[in-house]
Structure 1
């Protein structure tokens, strides 16, 4: 008779904790959160403050993190696996100042979690305080890149760079997600210059993007808003517009690896902001900031005239809307101070005009 050993009891799900200022949120923080989320069933993230960023307080920075780690049902959404992140921005008035001793900070967090009825099993940190903090909470500790070898930066360094004005931010921006960088009015440097094509519905924008990419021997980035609109069968909600603007930036960054000389971009965050106003009569301030930095993000902006034959593909508005959309795009570009070149004629003529402008 074969002896069958009893199955080991299932390991109970664990809850993790990350505490930090996230001022500003940077790639090192993302490494910390990604690592933590991969090891727990739930992750609590407390965005600390006192003193706080006078421009973007802790609740706003927490909101940025929620956007970066937003769950989504679409296949290519930016997930951190199935782990939900509970991200809380703590107002400065509710917490002890930085100068307070370790015990005061530890007790504040312990009491805050107790008031929430939240048990913590493991603390993740990239700082020396981590082990003692975790022990005080009766939790395990996991250190993540304490020596800053994977992401060689820190909040202190980035705050100093930001204080030196956007023009002086330089290469430091590579350590910040472009969505977050835009909230501070800066654009991460890139080795591949970008050109962007704008235009009303059925103005030949996508056809021209393909033709330009072929003519220039480079990569192009499709309009993600169109992709998501189709995936959700047209049922976009207000929050999707900010997601579209942020996801478009990520796709552009991914495409630079395949680009040669230029990266061709089909639409930008400014147009996404226009659609937010069109569909929902409002626009998220974070999306507005993405729109405001479009001048720095793209070396050239081209606008396709709505003179091509209208094609009703089942997703577009009526043909008469094209003229209004075209005028709205031009008005927005001029209000934002973004120079642009109008494109008309055949695809070949438009390609020729773009190539002449690129030099």
Structure 2
């Protein structure tokens, strides 16, 4: 038997960090059922409501999660009077979650007043306040500090949350256009990881004898890799290809495309680079010929334009291409990190 039947944790969770997670874990340990409510007006950059809901459900699937979305509810400003916020939470518990709570868990002085107002809202039902790590000694961080640079403070974020701050960098290109070389090189330059091309691995494994059903499987595995690796990456996840490549080969080899693969090809990446076929074609035993490479390159250009996907064309030798990518990504670095990357021995 736990101490309380129903506990409540409320927060902006912008972003959800390990201090918040400690608070929720304490509530879950003390309560038979834990309610988590999140809202923010205005939304804080990079912590929009759909992301907060995704984070909370991923980290606490056994809790009851309610995220109030701004486009569905008239929410008070974050700086509104405390009484307005407390009564909103009472209303949300009764009318949206159909529950009253026995305890609220906070790390703030306002917790006693919050519990008292909920008690009044519930008609005098006792509501206890449980204080957790008020001095922030167990998890010395704040949402404001993390928002200033999520990458510098990633140690305070779970991988599921940090993944939302990682930008995806996708390299596309015809056969023997340097795509995989660029992906691996950029992962090294940016001190991060890359999602290798599963389609090529399966081609080798099956000695080139792919069947139509393999196309959907390739797309699924590729995107699954990207999802798994994103939380382990450092600022950027480098992606060697996208479902567009698999879609191209499905049309080329089988003259048809699975509808699920069509849906996968809708996935957008933060940065897309197309490698130009401007050096000698290299036959490695798995490729077609130089003419096919050019046709594939032309298809990428037409398809990217048709889908209104911005991209940057990379041409020239490897150092020139790396420099072009770094110049484009420069705006996404903090000044200190940009200097570190540009002056790294890896750039020589």
Structure label with greater radius of gyration: 2
Which TM-score applies when normalising by structure 1?
Answer: 0.48
- What is the TM-score with the length of structure 2 in the denominator? 0.49
